[in-house]
Amino acid sequence: MPDTKVRDLSAAIEMIEPGSSIAMGLALEHAIPFAAGHELIRQGTDDLTLIGPISDLLFDQLVAADLVDRVRAAWVGNVSAGTGYNFRRAVEDGDLEVENHSNFSIALSLKAAAMGVPYLPTRSLLGSDIFDESDRFREAEDPYSGDRLALVPAIRPDWAIVHVQRASPYGDAHFWGNSGVTFEGVKAAKNTLVVAEEIVDSDVIKSDPSRTAITRESVTTVAEVPYGAHPSPLAGRYNRDNEYYVDYAERTNDLADAADWLEEWVYSVPDRTTYMEKIERNLSVSEPTVAAEVEYGK
């Protein structure tokens, strides 16, 4: 048998060097790897480039910790309360470089890298001012039809960090629910950290091969962290913690308050078990919906 890829979360995050580009929050509002992001903050891994479509609060928290040089994203903020105050402050102060994308252009950028091609074409950016903001995006003529196209360059992150329901010790993972551009991000990245609610025997993964959306050859390391996506939801495991999002917005609208929030919820919280002891709300799925049984035969 091959060596396992299991590390505890702290050791897994230690593999990520300062100055890395990291794709996170790839499943949109679902399965955001908050536990991994908080460990990056505790370790002070800085000079980061963050890549993602709708990062929700995670990018804002990393910016609050002064770890981010550049963001390549479609949107950064708080879905429940609008803006992310830390991100907004950093942009207004000129402390953060931002490469604006649409959700689709982020998807195309990661897909191009996953395919090993330098760019992918689209019509969806035509008519926007994105070409004036960045010279990375180019207009070109379709050699077949003569129509105008936008060329979206590939993005190859140093790391993708994804949260899944379960994984084997060797990196094969089951992930269900909304996936956004998770699979494109994993294939595009040079390295992938899979954070799983539980690490299971390989036979569990093999029992449902069609659900094995991430396979070991794409995975660098695996960490088991129950509730590691909180406050975002994880399909079949727990619901979105709406109260957390509202509280975060109310408590981080100035720099000093944001620092206090980080101290209370990140720096002074050594692990996820301690973190979840601070959450007094029941977020368990109350009415599980079970898919129909699948028979593969033998």
Structure confidence by residue, pLDDT tens digits, 112-123: 999 999 999 999
Structure tokens at 22: 């990291």
In the predicted model, what is the mean pLDDT of residues 281-292? Answer: 82
Instruction: Indicate whether 228 pLDDT > 90.
Output: yes
**91 and 192 housed in the same domain:** yes
Minimum mean pLDDT range among 54-63, 261-270, 280-289: 280-289
| Domain annotation covers residue 174 | yes
Q: 87: closest CA among 57, 63, 53, 52?
A: 63
User: Angle CA(219)–CA(221)–CA(222) in degrees, nearest 5?
Assistant: 100
**137 and 270 housed in the same domain:** no
**49 and 60 housed in the same domain:** yes
pLDDT above 70: percentage of residues in the chain: 100
Structure confidence by residue, pLDDT tens digits, 172-185: 999 999 999 999 99
| Domain annotation covers residue 194 | yes
| Domain annotation covers residue 285 | no
**104 and 177 housed in the same domain:** yes
The pLDDT confidence band at residue 290, using thresholds 50, 70 and 90, is: confident
Higher per-residue pLDDT: 225 or 295: 225
**How confident is the model at residue 56, as a pLDDT?**
81
Instruction: Indicate whether 298 pLDDT > 80.
Output: no
In the predicted model, what is the mean pLDDT of residues 77-81? Answer: 86
| Domain annotation covers residue 138 | yes
**130 and 272 housed in the same domain:** no
| Domain annotation covers residue 295 | no
The span from the CA of 26 to the CA of 51, in Å, is 9
pLDDT above 90: percentage of residues in the chain: 83
**75 and 141 housed in the same domain:** no
**How confident is the model at residue 130, as a pLDDT?**
82
**99 and 127 housed in the same domain:** no
**69 and 129 housed in the same domain:** no
**How confident is the model at residue 180, as a pLDDT?**
95
**139 and 14 housed in the same domain:** no
| Domain annotation covers residue 272 | yes
| Domain annotation covers residue 59 | yes
Listed as own residue / partner, the contacts of 87-95 with beta carbons closer than 8 Å and 24 or more positions apart are 87/59, 87/60, 87/63, 89/255, 90/63
In the predicted model, what is the mean pLDDT of residues 234-262? Answer: 94
**How confident is the model at residue 1, as a pLDDT?**
61
Instruction: Indicate whether 2 pLDDT > 80.
Output: no
The span from the CA of 36 to the CA of 255, in Å, is 23
As for how many domains the chain has, the answer is: 2
Give the structural domain span for 52. 9-118+155-277
Half-sphere exposure of 126 (CA within 13 A, CB side): 12
Identify the CATH number of the domain in which residue 33 sits: 3.40.1080.10
Q: 130: closest CA among 110, 100, 106, 160?
A: 100
**51 and 190 housed in the same domain:** yes
**67 and 180 housed in the same domain:** yes
| Domain annotation covers residue 229 | yes
**59 and 187 housed in the same domain:** yes
